[in-house]
Amino acid sequence: MVLNSDDEAFWGSGYPVYVALSTDKSAAHDQPQSLTLNLPPLATVFYRWQG
């Protein structure tokens, strides 16, 4: 994760989010893999792809 605007360091609520993510092998939206995200309300979360 690059940035979570809901982090307590930015006076946010500290809603727990995943630091690193990985895809599931279940197909969705005509794609072979999918990703499930838990996002904080009214916040922005940036992730960087590493392949």
Give me 5's structure tokens. Answer: 């605007």
N-term to C-term CA, the chain: 14
Q: For 13-30, what is each residue's pLDDT tens digit?
A: 999 888 889 999 999 999
pLDDT band at 51 (very low <50, low <70, confident <90, very high): confident
pTM of the model as a whole: 0.71
